[in-house]
């Protein structure tokens, strides 16, 4: 079901707008650790970064500016009230369930700030018995990534929390 394109739940097969949905399986297949890496695979979408991992990054859809691309996280608008854009450079895919990219002018539904399109990010929900996960990775340039997550359902409450750290002695772009 896609909510972004119509503001009401509609099956993806019945949406008339250009919609692309990326899931956690896509992130794993792409080996995308950062949301910017995953969005590079999106159609008609460009990600502009001002440096390496974790630096300022913005997304543009179909040639619009980053201020003409609305970004929602769990239904909440996260674009800056002053600049009109959102820095996606600090988001990892660790706690993201899916990303819906709605391409093209969406002013009728979302206002004039959606001239390029809409990116809707859904975070993971706690399901089943509470679980704890931890990970640690090491790579070239002394890159270290480590973290963990807790998630599950306790009564009627879904609980999910994650924390990660990424450090690297990467080549400086300055």
Burial 103-126 (b: 16+ CB within 10 A, else e): bbbbeeebeebbbbbbbbbbebeb
What residue has token string 């709605």? 102
Close Cβ partners of 164 (under 8 Å, ≥ 6 residues apart) = 92, 94, 145, 146, 147, 148
* Mean of pLDDT values over 65-74: 90
Query: Which tokens in the block code for residue 107?
Result: 């002013």
pLDDT recorded at residue 6:
59
Counts of helices then strands in the chain (DSSP H, E): 3, 10
pLDDT recorded at residue 1:
56
Among 2-6, 25-29, 45-49, 157-161, the range scoring the smallest mean pLDDT is: 2-6
Residue 86 pLDDT exceeds 90: yes
pLDDT recorded at residue 42:
84
Residue with the larger pLDDT of the pair 5 and 137: 137
* Mean of pLDDT values over 75-81: 91
* Mean of pLDDT values over 12-41: 85
pLDDT recorded at residue 162:
87
Close Cβ partners of 138 (under 8 Å, ≥ 6 residues apart) = 144
- pLDDT category, 97, cuts 50, 70, 90? very high
As a whole number of angstroms, the distance between CA 66 and CA 70 comes to: 8
All structural domains of the chain: 12-123 (2.170.130.10), 131-167 (no CATH)
pTM of the model: 0.81
């Amino acid at each position: 079901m896609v909510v972004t394109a119509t503001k009401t739940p509609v099956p993806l097969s019945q949406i008339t707008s250009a919609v692309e949905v990326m899931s956690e399986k896509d992130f794993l297949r792409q080996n995308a650790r950062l949301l910017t890496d995953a969005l590079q695979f999106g159609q008609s979408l460009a990600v502009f970064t001002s440096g390496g991992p974790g630096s300022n990054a913005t997304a543009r859809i179909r040639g619009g500016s980053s201020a003409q691309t609305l970004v929602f996280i769990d239904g909440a608008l996260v674009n800056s009230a002053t600049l009109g854009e959102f820095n996606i450079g600090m988001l990892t895919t660790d706690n993201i369930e899916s990303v819906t990219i709605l391409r093209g002018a969406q002013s009728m539904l979302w206002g004039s700030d959606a001239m390029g399109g809409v990116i809707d990010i859904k975070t993971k929900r706690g399901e089943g018995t509470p679980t704890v996960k931890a990970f640690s990775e090491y790579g070239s340039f002394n890159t270290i990534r480590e973290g963990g997550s807790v998630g599950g359902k306790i009564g009627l409450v879904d609980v999910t929390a994650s924390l990660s750290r990424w450090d690297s002695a990467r080549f400086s772009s300055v």
